[in-house]
Structure 1
Amino acid sequence: MKYEKEFPLFKTKVEGIAKKFNLSDLNDRKAYFEAKAGDDIAKLKKYFDEGKTFIVYLLGKKNAGKGTYTKLLMEIFGRDKIAHLSVGDIVRDLHAAVEDESYKKELLDYLRKNYRGYITPEQALEALLGRDQKTLLPNEFIMALVKREIDKIGKKTIFIDGFPRNLDQVSYSMFFKQLIDYREDPDIFIAIDIPEKVIDERMKYRRVCPICHTPRNLKLFTTQDVEYDEKDEKFYLICDNPDHEKSRMHGKEGDEMGIESIRDRLELDDKLIAKIFSLHGIQKGLIRNAVPVEKAKAYVDDYEITPAYEYEYDQASGKVKTIENPFVVKDDEGVEVCSLLAPPVALSLIRQLVEILGL
């Protein structure tokens, strides 16, 4: 696997812990982290209680799980200690918010005081409103928007998702904390190693409720009820949300193409990670979404492996049977690997943060 010499495979299997935790249950998940990383969690809690913070740049391909891992750490340490800052979300939310003229005026006033660049704040805002998915906004404008959000967050540890997003922004990230006047926090670059096949399956089988917009996955994140439509010969997930009547969940337009629809983005992400991992003088870590099948038994517990779901339809009873197996794919180097659930990946992140911070 990539970077294995610099970052050995992480072992989440702990000798003496025989209990099987249900990682989809909040209380069981809490017990899981305490059992497997209690000492490291205590060290980080002490660090936070002393008023100390740090900045983490999460580097990973689209759909790599950056937001998911951050939310798990927020669940463990509290939202008063950790904040998740998604540059993509900032830009998307701003796109809608500037329709409000008073908000737009407030934003432009802020930019006139805090933005420096080769185009005016008004021109940068127009670039935002007229951009497409492949057009990146000026770096200086992105910096000003991020600084604005950090000003709102206050003194917390921040996990930044989506910056740097291009090779030009790598140099900005090297001095990011100075550029935003964000104290003397340690800054850490964490890369997420995830097989493209996993991203492909996440995209192709993604399903969304048309009413509450809850996302699930036909293959990797099923629901309690599954229906089979004999007419179109397809299985459908039924949304679990009790607040509305049961509805079939559907894929988003373009999802059937999988990663090919974002191929350019994935290739750029690879270059970004390689570039940053070649730099000296920065703290780096690596978390892996998968472990080789031949090593899985020694390194992880069975319940830490992502399940994959298949379905069988019994025409006589009209019922659907759900079959669960480990989610096994070939990684980018052709090695058969088991994809991991989010908690064991977050566990490896916790341990690496403790080591990097010298706790």
Structure 2
Amino acid sequence: MKNLLFPLFTTKSGARAPKFMLEDPVERKKYFQYKAGREIEKIRGYLERGNTFVGILLGPKNSGKGTYTKLFMEAVGGEHIAHISVGDIVRSVHKDIGSAKGKRELIAFLKSRYRGFISIEKALEIILGRDTKTLLPTEVILALVEREILKLGRKAVFIDGFPRNLDQISYSLYFRALMGYRDDPDFFVFISVPEAVIDERMRYRAVCPLCQSPRNLKLLRTKEIGYDQKTKKFFLLCDNPSCKGFGKSRMVSKEGDELGIEVIRDRIEVDAKVSRMLMDLQGVLKVYLRNAVPVAEAKKYVDEYEITPSYRYVWDASTKKVRVIEEPWIVKDDARVPSYSLLPAAVVVSLIKQTAKVLGL
């Protein structure tokens, strides 16, 4: 977000500290324990005692909200935490409407829970005809989110995609009460990522079709890389240990991502306005995640292996294997300062430590 530079957070280790391969789930687990083991145990204990929280993720589209949440769950344990994406919920509801049974169940739920200024029938029409520029009324979104929370049971939740505009801000202030989490702590998680990073993330993003875990062919590879000899293209294989397709599911790109950030420029500007307004809000705890660190200061704040490299691939026909070539990647942040983008795991260490702090652990 332009003109929103958050404080630098250090994850720097000592001179003799071990190094970790952050694209490897096993190594990543060791990394989280090494960097934030105390906080992880405190959060686990908090959740195992039946406590929950509501974290509202705020940042531009493709700023890493889903990635950070899933890695947080990977580090802390996903049995007591859920990631709720408003966009995914709407897409899921779209599928539900496609079957007679699903449509009946959805209408029955909305009749019992929904209160708003348009009819349920009209809401369903909007869902079926939605596009990237049309937003559902907030009252409908809240009902759909409540439906998803009821499916999940009592868990801590990270909410992704709400509030989406200035009109929804007042609802977000009382979100936990609206969702029945009246006594649980809630906090905002602000995410700052240079636009140059978002652009590259979009162009090379890949998502597992089974678990929806996102990765990036150029910037955030998985441990295993595949090569399609028919299309002459490389692809990532899902590395989420809890996914049924672990090590087998081919990750796929999303339609339109190849066009980069300009196709979502209007959305980026609205997201920035929402974040600026909520940053001034009093009475709500806040977490600040910063993706980029200036090249000139990187050695003071992070370990070298926590910096995002870029990857390219070569198919070795003789060995039938993909050769991975790692190269340095420097971008200019929104203030035009040469910077490194941090790997998501390093940002998640900051999220873990700050979450423990706002929970008073």
- Which interval holds the TM-score relative to the shorter structure? 0.7 to 0.9
Q: How far is 1:8 from its partner?
A: 2.2
- The share of aligned pairs that are identical, in percent, is 54
Deviations 1:283-331 (A, max 9, x none): 11111111111111111111111111246899xx999865322321001
Instruction: Provide the secondary structure at the position in 1 that maps to 2:115.
Output: coil
Aligned counterparts, 1:17-56, within 5 A: 18-56=17-55
- Indicate the structure (1 or 2) with the bigger Cα radius of gyration: 1
- Aligned residue in 2 for 1:324: 326
Higher relative contact order (CA 8 A, sep 6+): 2
C-alpha distance in structure 2 between counterparts of 1:109 and 1:191, whole Å? 36
Asked whether the 8 Å contact 1:326–1:338 carries over to 2, the reply is: no
After alignment, is 342-351 or 178-187 more displaced? 178-187
- Aligned residue in 1 for 2:335: 333
Q: Does 2:239 align with 1:237?
A: no
Instruction: Provide the secondary structure at the position in 1 that maps to 2:334.
Output: coil
- Aligned residue in 1 for 2:273: 271
Q: Which runs of 5+ in 2 are unaligned?
A: 239-244
Q: How far is 1:265 from its partner?
A: 0.8
Instruction: Provide the secondary structure at the position in 2 that maps to 1:327.
Output: coil
TM-score, normalization by structure 2:
0.86
C-alpha distance in structure 2 between counterparts of 1:76 and 1:238, whole Å? 25
- Aligned residue in 2 for 1:166: 165
Q: Does 2:199 align with 1:200?
A: yes
- Aligned residue in 2 for 1:100: 99
C-alpha distance in structure 1 between counterparts of 2:271 and 2:143, whole Å? 23
C-alpha distance in structure 2 between counterparts of 1:332 and 1:355, whole Å? 29
C-alpha distance in structure 2 between counterparts of 1:337 and 1:280, whole Å? 31
Instruction: Provide the secondary structure at the position in 2 that maps to 1:285.
Output: strand
Q: How far is 1:81 from its partner?
A: 1.1
Asked whether the 8 Å contact 1:237–1:249 carries over to 2, the reply is: no
C-alpha distance in structure 2 between counterparts of 1:176 and 1:216, whole Å? 30
C-alpha distance in structure 2 between counterparts of 1:357 and 1:209, whole Å? 32
TM-score, normalization by structure 1:
0.87
Q: How far is 1:281 from its partner?
A: 1.2
- Two-structure CA RMSD over aligned residues (Å): 3.2
Q: How far is 1:239 from its partner?
A: 5.3
Q: How far is 1:69 from its partner?
A: 1.1
Instruction: Provide the secondary structure at the position in 2 that maps to 1:80.
Output: helix
Instruction: Provide the secondary structure at the position in 2 that maps to 1:219.
Output: coil
Asked whether the 8 Å contact 1:83–1:156 carries over to 2, the reply is: yes
- Aligned residue in 2 for 1:85: 84
Q: How far is 1:213 from its partner?
A: 10
Instruction: Provide the secondary structure at the position in 1 that maps to 2:305.
Output: helix
Q: Which amino acid aligns with 1:162?
A: G
C-alpha distance in structure 2 between counterparts of 1:221 and 1:42, whole Å? 27
Q: Does 2:353 align with 1:351?
A: yes
Asked whether the 8 Å contact 1:228–1:313 carries over to 2, the reply is: no
CA, structure 1 residues 182+45, in 2 after alignment: closer, same or farther (shift >3 Å)? Answer: same
Q: Which runs of 5+ in 1 are unaligned?
A: none
Aligned counterparts, 1:294-309, within 5 A: 294-309=296-311
Aligned counterparts, 1:202-221, within 5 A: 202-206=201-205, 217-221=216-220
Deviations 1:153-196 (A, max 9, x none): 22111011111111111100001111222231111000111111
- Aligned residue in 1 for 2:242: none
C-alpha distance in structure 1 between counterparts of 2:207 and 2:40, whole Å? 34
CA, structure 1 residues 252+190, in 2 after alignment: closer, same or farther (shift >3 Å)? Answer: closer
Deviations 1:266-294 (A, max 9, x none): 11111111111121111111111111111
How many aligned positions are there?
350
Q: Which amino acid aligns with 1:110?
A: F
C-alpha distance in structure 1 between counterparts of 2:215 and 2:347, whole Å? 20
CA, structure 1 residues 207+163, in 2 after alignment: closer, same or farther (shift >3 Å)? Answer: closer
Aligned counterparts, 1:64-213, within 5 A: 64-206=63-205
Q: How far is 1:44 from its partner?
A: 1.2
Q: Which amino acid aligns with 2:145?
A: V
C-alpha distance in structure 1 between counterparts of 2:60 and 2:24, whole Å? 27
